[in-house]
Amino acid sequence: MNSFFASDIKKLNALYNRVQFSFIFLYGRYGTGKTGLVRELCRDRATLFYSAQETVPEGHLDAFYRQTARSLDSKKLPPSFASWEQAFSYISDYSFSRRLILVLDEFQNLDRNCPEFMEAFAGAVRHDFQTGKVFLIVTSSSVGYAAELMEEPIREPFDAITARAFLDVLPFSACRPAFAGRSAKEQLLLYGITGGFPSCLPRLRPDLSAQQNLLRLFFSADSPLLMSPPDALHRELREISTYNFLLEIIAFGSTKLTDIADKASIGTNKCAKYLGVLVSLGIIRKEFPAAGESLKKVRYQFADHMTRFWYRFVSPNLSEILFGRGQQVYEQQVLPALDEYLLPVFESICAEYLERLGSSGQTPFVYKHTGAWWTGGTKREPFFRIPLVASDEEHTVLGVCHCATEPAGRELLDRLLGPLEPFDGRKRYCCIFSTSGFSEELRTAAREAGNVWLSGLEDICG
């Protein structure tokens, strides 16, 4: 069994074994593993899997019939389905004497393009399927569509859902089996370019180095991920030029609404609407400070690292890559900026590590979540950010990450030990993570302080 889906498969198997009608809704961005999860569940079980493409309404019914004929061995199958009501009635009759998994993949294409389908589907969920042994799975790669479906009041027949699950990109710890046998730095890079997408991890070739895999995935005209992020955006939106432009601006480090709007030369209200769409689609997320006044300090971050990588390095250089100069782009544009790019990747891995330590009782106080805190960013006050913060009423953990070729220095600790208004009055613990070790001065200062943890990349990956 694929370790990515082990816990999900266990839950779905429990529902399957109840041998009564069940309605499962799986949604998440393209590439987050919905089809893999379904394929694992359906192994050696009677299954009708129909993936709805964008086509005319009558095309769906014909395609569904052909797939039914291929999938179900039955002498009672009519020459064709005259209507969706007839199709669902047949499915219900077929399942009366045996358990049948019916998968309607990319369901939004049926809902949006085929009104007669939705009327028949609602009736089948309420009546026909209830009398048989149908195990219904509906999937959608449109996060925006799924969010609309789940808004109260939930429209029929989705109010009859037995269970639903949002499939997101995987955390670093879940991806590590795909990085087996590689150094800690290679694991960091590979997580940074695959973004935790289950669909990307199998594309890694174990016989190639991390950098060779990076080149193969993104920097030649036939690279498998060369157009993946914009293709995913096209599935959600008709016109993506403005969204592409905004994502590239964010990828180059502008994360405040006013800065993004200024660089895009559009008003803040209009820009906020565009960004709101990207948030609803799960492509970017809003980040708020972990302490103090937060609502006015929102920043926009990518929801995954692979998409950030694409808009930072691939999108601006797409013409060069298509013209066969991907190697030069990599050497001249990517390599010099790689440590800078990997810093947020490293921060996310360290946050996951701290949360794991906190929830397992290996820290001075119990916490479950970490966040970032920042202040400044104006002409009067320079921007100052602490990427790792976990607190309760009496304690706080403050952490910074160092991703560079030289060892981490004493100045990182000084930043954490200085006056910080939201955290003053609490017992403070400091942690410094580094991909390249620590200077002797920092090690000495950490020992003298007594409340400082130093952790290398190897410690996290070990």
Give pLDDT tens digits along the chain (462 positions).
455 677 889 999 999 999 899 999 999 999 999 999 999 999 999 999 999 988 888 899 999 999 999 999 878 899 999 999 999 999 999 999 899 999 999 999 999 888 899 999 999 999 999 988 999 999 999 998 998 888 888 888 999 999 999 999 999 999 999 999 999 999 999 999 999 999 999 999 999 999 999 999 999 999 999 999 999 999 888 899 999 999 999 999 999 999 999 999 999 999 999 999 999 999 999 999 988 766 668 999 999 999 999 999 999 999 999 999 999 999 999 999 999 999 999 999 999 999 999 988 888 898 888 999 998 877 788 888 999 999 888 999 999 999 999 999 999 999 999 888 888 889 999 999 999 999 999 999 999 999 999 999 999 987
- Are 26 and 15 contacting, i.e. CB atoms less than 8 angstroms apart? no
DSSP code, position 169: P
User: What per-residue confidence (pLDDT) applies to 213?
Assistant: 97
Dihedral sign, CA of 418, 423, 425, 428?
A: negative
| Helical (H) or strand (E) element with 431 | strand 427-434
Q: Looking at the structure, do residues 20 and 64 belong to the same domain, yes or no?
A: yes
Residues 6 or more apart whose CB falls under 8 angstroms from that of 113 comprise: 54, 55, 56, 57, 60
User: What per-residue confidence (pLDDT) applies to 179?
Assistant: 96
Q: Is 36 exposed, middle or buried (0-12, 13-18, 19+ CB in 10 A)?
A: middle
From the centroid of its chain, how far is CA 281? 11
Of 321, 341, 361, which residue sits at a domain end? 341
Q: Looking at the structure, do residues 192 and 322 belong to the same domain, yes or no?
A: yes
User: What per-residue confidence (pLDDT) applies to 294?
Assistant: 63
**Rounded Cα distance, 442 and 203, in Å:** 40
Q: Looking at the structure, do residues 249 and 210 belong to the same domain, yes or no?
A: yes
Q: Looking at the structure, do residues 312 and 365 belong to the same domain, yes or no?
A: no
Of 307, 324, 341, which residue sits at a domain end? 341
Q: Looking at the structure, do residues 200 and 145 belong to the same domain, yes or no?
A: no
User: What per-residue confidence (pLDDT) applies to 1?
Assistant: 41
Q: Looking at the structure, do residues 143 and 237 belong to the same domain, yes or no?
A: no
CA torsion, points 439, 445, 450, 453, in degrees to nearest 10?
-20
Domain range for 359 is 348-461
Of 166, 197, 219, which residue sits at a domain end? 166
Q: Looking at the structure, do residues 306 and 353 belong to the same domain, yes or no?
A: no
List the CATH number of the domain containing 93: 3.40.50.300
